[in-house]
Amino acid sequence: MASTPETSAGTPETSAGTPETSAGTPETSEGAGEGSSKQPPAPQVWPTLRAQDARGLIRFLVDAFGFEETVVYGDGDRVDHAQLSRPEGGGVMLGSVRAGQDSADGPTPPGQFSAYVVTADPDAVHARAKAAGAELTTDLHVTDYGSRDFAARDPEGNRWYFGTYRGEPR
């Protein structure tokens, strides 16, 4: 069995020369030296939802909330799988409701999904959502923990919350 090269700090390296974490995944950082910080890992939690009109929901999420269509698989009006990404990170996966599918089998049924989406500019997302005709359920406001937030509902009835709160550091 081949040995894994180590960095000068004794940390195993990948074949690309990038240090690995204890879980065996490559570490990345912005810059080098003092003051550098690790990049957040790529999203590994993907919210999923089903839609009666998945293609319409995709158009809405792109137009109103600024998602980007990464990939869509399916024929005609049916969407077997779609990935929508946020320019600021993260994304969702969605597909069409399938005929005869038990609602307890698979992702959340249409209209029962909610998500909090972090954005550096909730005012711009709010203006975009309003211009696209989104149903705004909570107007822009500052929360008691300092986040600037608003909420909207998509045409399927799902609830979307947008704000500046990024969670607490780990």
11 belongs to a structural domain: no
136 belongs to a structural domain: yes
Segments forming the whole domain that contains residue 116 = 48-96+111-163
75 belongs to a structural domain: yes
Alpha-carbon span 145 to 122, nearest angstrom: 16
Cβ distance 73 to 83 under 8 Å?
Answer: no
Containing 111, the helix (H) or strand (E) segment is none
pTM here is 0.73
pLDDT of residue 108: 79
**Both tokens assigned to 25:** 């995944």
| HSE (side-chain half, CA atoms, 13 Å) at 104 | 0
As for how many domains the chain has, the answer is 1
Q: Domain containing 143 — which CATH number?
A: 3.10.180.10
E strands, the chain, are: 29-30, 37-38, 48-51, 68-73, 81-85, 91-96, 114-118, 135-142, 148-153, 159-163
Sequential pLDDT tens for the chain (170 residues): 444 444 444 444 444 444 444 444 444 333 444 444 666 667 678 899 999 999 999 999 999 999 999 999 999 999 999 999 999 999 999 999 988 776 666 677 889 999 999 999 999 999 999 999 999 999 999 999 999 999 999 999 999 999 999 998 87
82 belongs to a structural domain: yes
